[in-house]
């Protein structure tokens, strides 16, 4: 899909970039989500464009907590459940940040 998108713009990939694009398009990653974590994953995915960035280096600092709280409120949960979901989303956030902020080759 990446190669096709770039080709539509007149861009072709070669070498390692082409291999990486083909590998990424070959098969999506699948993983199991426990039922008790499903709402937190859904909230996190709905907040995926709400990252706050640190300086000019492009490193993500955190999700905008106000955006996360707004999304959580759409689930009509009790205040206790809302805090639990926020904690779960912040755990997912920490894991995502550790991967996204790794140095790139």
pLDDT in tens, 79-99: 999 999 999 999 999 999 998
Per-residue pLDDT of 13-60, as tens digits, reads 667 666 666 666 666 678 899 999 999 999 999 998 999 998 787 788
What DSSP state is assigned to residue 37? G
How many residues does this entry show for the chain? 105
Q: What is the mean pLDDT of the chain?
A: 84
pTM exceeding the 0.75 threshold for the entire prediction: no
Please count the other Cβ atoms lying within 10 Å of the Cβ belonging to residue 85.
22
Residue 27 CA to residue 46 CA, distance in Å, equals 23
């Amino acid at each position: 899909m990446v190669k096709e998108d770039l080709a539509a713009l007149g861009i072709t990939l070669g070498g390692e970039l082409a291999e990486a694009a083909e590998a990424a398009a070959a098969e999506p990653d699948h993983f199991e989500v426990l039922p008790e974590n499903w709402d937190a994953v859904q909230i996190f995915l709905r907040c995926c464009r709400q990252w706050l960035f640190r300086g000019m280096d492009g490193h993500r600092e955190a999700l905008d907590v106000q955006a996360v709280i707004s999304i959580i409120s759409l689930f009509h949960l009790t205040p206790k459940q809302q805090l639990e979901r926020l904690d779960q989303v912040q755990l997912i956030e920490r894991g995502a940040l550790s991967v996204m902020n790794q140095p790139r080759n």
